[in-house]
C-alpha cells in the first residue's frame, strides 16, 4: 500500500517526513523484537507488517529525494 499511495504521501507530507516515518517504524520494530519471548517465535509474524511500512516509505522517500536533488541525465 505504501508504493500505491506513494505519490499522494509525498505530495502531502514530503520526502523528509516519509523518511522519518520509515525510520520510526524501523526503530519500533527492532525494539519490539527485543521484547519477544524466545519460546514464542511466531510472534515475529505480528511485527512483519512494519517491515513493509519501513521498506516502502524509505524507498519512496529516497527515490523522491534523489529525483529532486540530482541533475537530470542526458
pLDDT attached to residue 39? 87
CA pair distance 57, 74, nearest whole angstrom: 28
CA distance 62 to 67: 8
Spell out the alpha helix ranges (H) of the chain. Answer: 6-34, 44-47, 49-69
Nearest of 19, 20, 51, 21 to residue 33 by alpha carbon? 51
Question: Mapping DSSP to helix (H, G, I), strand (E, B) and coil, where does residue 74 land?
Answer: coil
pLDDT at 61: 96
| pLDDT tens by residue, the chain, 74 residues | 899 999 999 999 999 999 999 999 999 999 999 998 888 888 899 899 899 999 999 999 999 999 999 888 77
Amino acid at each position: 500500500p505504501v508504493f500505491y499511495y506513494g505519490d499522494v504521501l509525498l505530495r502531502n507530507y514530503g520526502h523528509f517526513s516519509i523518511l522519518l516515518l520509515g525510520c520510526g517504524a524501523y526503530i519500533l520494530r527492532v525494539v519490539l523484537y527485543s521484547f519477544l519471548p524466545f519460546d514464542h517465535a511466531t510472534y515475529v509474524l505480528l511485527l512483519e507488517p512494519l517491515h513493509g511500512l519501513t521498506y516502502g516509505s524509505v524507498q519512496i522517500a529516497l527515490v523522491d529525494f534523489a529525483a529532486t536533488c540530482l541533475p537530470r541525465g542526458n
